[in-house]
Amino acid sequence: MNDTPVVGVLALQGDVREHLIALAAADAVARPVRRPEELAEVDGLVIPGGESTTISKLAALFGLLEPLRARVRAGMPVYGTCAGMIMLADKILDPRSGQETFGGIDMIVRRNAFGRQNESFEAAVDMKGVDGDPVEGVFIRAPWVESVGARVEVLAEHGGHIVAVRQDNVLATSFHPELTGDHRVHGLFVAMVRGSAAPGAL
Ligand X SMILES: NC(=O)CC[C@H](N)C(=O)O
User: Binding to ligand X by residue 51, rule CB under 6 A?
Assistant: yes
Q: ∠ CA(159), CA(157), CA(169), 5° rounding?
A: 155
Segment near ligand X (CB under 6 A); pick from 28-36, 48-56, 144-152, 165-173: 48-56
User: Binding to ligand X by residue 82, rule CB under 6 A?
Assistant: yes
Clarify whether 178 is annotated catalytic: yes
> Which of 82, 153, 158, 183 is flagged as catalytic?
82
Out of 50, 77, 177, 187, name the contact with ligand X by CB under 6 A: 50
Rounded (10°) angle between helices 184-194 and 16-25: 70
Q: Where in 5-34 is the site for ligand X (CB under 6 A)? A: none
Task: Number of residues interacting with ligand X: please give it, by CB under 6 A.
Answer: 11
Nearest to 89 by CA among 48, 142, 140, 148: 148
Out of 28, 58, 89, 140, name the contact with ligand X by CB under 6 A: 140
First to last CA, the chain: 21
* DSSP codes joined into one string, 146-170: EEE-TTPEEEEEETTEEEEEEETTE
Q: Find the Cα–Cα–Cα–Cα dihedral 7, 170, 81, 164, rounded to 10°.
A: -140
Clarify whether 122 is annotated catalytic: no
Segment near ligand X (CB under 6 A); pick from 4-12, 50-58, 71-79, 158-166: 50-58
Segment near ligand X (CB under 6 A); pick from 17-25, 43-51, 145-153, 164-172: 43-51
8 A C-beta contact, residue 82 and residue 166:
no
Nearer to ligand X, 142 or 152 (CB): 142
Kind and range of the H or E run holding 65: helix 65-73
User: Binding to ligand X by residue 113, rule CB under 6 A?
Assistant: no
Clarify whether 41 is annotated catalytic: no
Nearer to ligand X, 138 or 170 (CB): 138
**Distance in angstroms (rounded) separating the CA atoms of residues 165 and 183:** 18
Which amino acid appears at position 193 of this protein?
V
In sequence order, what are the beta bridge partners of 125?
A: 135
List residues binding ligand X (CB under 6 A). 49-52, 82-83, 86, 111-112, 140-141
Catalytic residues: 82, 176, 178
